[in-house]
Every structure is written in C-alpha cells, then in structure tokens.
Amino acid sequence: MSVHQFTVRNIRGQEVDLGSYKGKVLLIINTASKCGFTNQYADLQKLYEKYKDRGLVLLGFPCNQFGDQEPGTNDEVHTFCQLNYGVSFPLFEKVEVRGEDKHPLFAYLSGQAPFEGFDLTTSGGKMMHTYLSEKLPEFLIGNDIKWNFTKFLVDGEGHVVKRFESPVDPLDIEPAIEALLG
C-alpha cells in the first residue's frame, strides 16, 4: 500500500487521486489558520517555491480538531492562506486527522510513521509536551496526530519516510527533502 492509493477532495471539493503524484516527493501537513504554528505556512511556501521544480509537492489539509483553530469554511481557509501567506501549494477540504472519524489517509500516515515523542531539547517540543500532558494527556497515547502542523514526508513511490511533529520548523526538514529529491 502507498499514499498513491488514496483519493481526497481539494479545497474546492473536487476529487483528487493521489496516484497523480507518483514520482513526486510529498510533504503532507494538517494545518490550521488560528494556531500558534500557523506562521509555518510562510516557510512551507518557501520550501514549495524552492523545490517544486525539482519534484516537491506540499499537500495541506486543514483540520479543526485541535482547539477549534480552523473554524472557517473551505473557502475562508483558502482565502486566508492566499492573502496572508501567498500559499500556492495544493490545499484540501477540512478533514479529521485523529480519532474514530479520521480520514483514511491520516490513519495510513500515522500508522506508517508512529509518534516518537516531541524533541524535548527544543522550546517548542517542551511546550507541546507540557501542554498536552497537562490539558490533553490522552493525546500523548498512540500514534494519532497530536496537533496542527504535523508533517509527513513521502517519497516518489508513495511511501512514508518520516514524521515531523508540530514544533519542527519546516526549514529544518529541508535536508531530508533534498535527500529524496536527489
């Protein structure tokens, strides 16, 4: 099985066969417009612009499961991303990424790249671990997505290579992207 076997709906409601991305390196992200990590859109867009001609595609999936930080409609999300961050990489309909109703794509992603914990040597990793430990300890159990802006790096054959948790700055993923692009 691979990511290429899934079908999703883009932000305009049209079905997209992820098989159409065969041969491309993908970075799949669950996003939100009102999150402390929302400013990552800027660096995600920079990565996309820098590497899209070499075969990188970012796929953004808005999600409202974490503190109601993506309350808008799909149109509002699309407009927000374009106006505030110039996002030109593909965005998709809002989905659930954890729990019983999680989208099958995210069930697959989190199953292929289990949660390995937050990097407690960074302030962001410490902050997320502390917040979830105190407020939502059940979120730390299992492999489901823990928060907005979890990033999955996928190779050209559709296999999940690595999971990067919310606090990981998109630019810190650049060496792993370059390694896959060759």
Catalytic residue list: 35
16-38 burial, b at 16+ Cβ within 10 Å, e below that, comes to bebeebeebbbbbbbbbbebbbb
120-129 long-range Cβ contacts below 8 angstroms, 24+ apart:
122/167, 124/166, 124/167, 124/168, 125/165, 125/167, 127/167, 128/165, 128/166, 128/167
Residue 119 and residue 14: Cα distance in Å, rounded?
A: 37
Q: Are 31 and 62 in contact (CB under 8 A)?
A: yes
Residue 28 and residue 87: Cα distance in Å, rounded?
A: 14
